[in-house]
A = this chain, B = another copy of it.
C-alpha cells in the first residue's frame, strides 16, 4: 500500500514533454504516476475504514463479506472458479475463504452434478440473513464516506473511472498477448 506524499510535491503539474526530450531517456509521466498514487490512497483509506467497522460491528473480515456479496447476487450459487474470477483473487485464496465460511455455517458447498471437478457454493439461510443485515449498514457507511461529493461529482467520477478501467483492461490485454 504505497501512498501519495502527505504534502504533494511542488506541483510540476501536467508537464508531458514526451516530444521535447533530447536525451534517450523515457518520457516523463509524473501525472499518471500521481494519479495512480491518489487512486491507491483513496482505496486504502476506504478499505481500512470499512474493515475496521466490519470487525467492530459484525466481527467479520472484509474478504468474507466480499465473498458473501458475490454469492448474494446469484442465489443459486456459483463455482469456486467463478468466485475467484469475480473477486479477482487466486483460486487457492477462495478455497480457504470458503472453507472458513462453511465452517461458520454461512455457506454451503455441493459438488456439481454435471462436472465432478466443480463445486458450487451458495449462501445458507443464515448466511443470507447475516449478509442482508450487514449490507444495509455497509451501504450507509459508503454513502457517508462520499457524502461531501455532489451527485454530479459521483456520476463524473463513475464515468472517468469507467474510462480508466477500460484503459487498464486494454493495457493488460496487450501485455498478455505479447
Cβ–Cβ contact B36 & A46, under 8 A: yes
> What chain B residues lie within 8 Å of A117 (beta carbons)?
none
- Between A47, A140, A164, the greatest number of chain B beta carbons within 10 A of the residue's beta carbon is seen for A164
Cβ–Cβ contact A164 & B42, under 8 A: yes
Task: Kindly state whether residue A157 has any CB partner on chain B within 8 Å.
Answer: yes
Task: Kindly state whether residue A100 has any CB partner on chain B within 8 Å.
Answer: no
Distance in Å: Cβ of A176 to nearest Cβ of chain B: 10
Considering the complex, which residues of chain A in the window 164-178 have a beta carbon less than 8 Å from any beta carbon of chain B? 164-172, 175
Which size bracket describes the interface of A in this complex?
35 or more
Residue contacts A-B, CB under 8 angstroms, 23 given: A1-B87, A2-B65, A2-B67, A2-B87, A26-B140, A27-B143, A29-B139, A31-B158, A32-B145, A35-B161, A36-B46, A38-B161, A39-B43, A40-B47, A43-B43, A49-B171, A53-B175, A145-B167, A146-B164, A146-B167, A148-B163, A149-B167, A156-B160
